Structure 1
Amino acid sequence: MITSNQRLTGILLTVTFILAIPFVAMQFTQEVNWSLFDFIIAGILLLSTGLSIELVMRKVAKSEYRIAICVTLLIALFLIWAELAVGIFGTPFAGN
């Protein structure tokens, strides 16, 4: 059984790993060009999504509701990430 502290450690390690991917890529190519602000925003998005999922896992009893809420949170993360990256919806804060 995984404890909540192990899940929190897993969330932090996963966020760190995901943010390390563009950081390492920036060392080898000019195609990836993130600023400090990009890393901060990505970290906030990933960490808030991970912690929200952790809260759902702790507080929601029915597994069907847990799955539905977690899938909704992940879809929201992906849509926000895509909007910030390429502006799929054309909002003023789009990254293009």
Structure 2
Amino acid sequence: MAKYEPLVRYLRRQKSAEVELSFRDIERIVGGLLLKASNDPLWWRVEDADTAPPQQRAFAQAGFTPRPELRAERVLFVRASRFGDRDASV
């Protein structure tokens, strides 16, 4: 998950309940290109299991649910509720 740690820190610092980022914004934050797999909605799932892909664990650790708009190449990150509704969009 080391690649996505800067994104976790960035999202945790945000005060608002929603944060919109373009794919380019995310690439700048993490210091590298997003994988081609990021064009698949399932890539953006939130999963906290040790066996989950690193980006999915990062979203979970940041406390945000990503809602990607793949054609527009942007993502709306919505702060997860305290009641565990982290993956309502996928």
Q: TM-score, normalised by structure 1?
A: 0.23
Query: Between Structure 1 and Structure 2, whose CA radius of gyration is higher?
Result: 1
Q: TM-score, normalised by structure 2?
A: 0.24
Structure with bigger strand share is 2
- Identify which of structures 1 and 2 has the higher relative contact order when contacts are C-alpha pairs closer than 8 Å and 6+ apart: 2
Structure with bigger helix share is 1
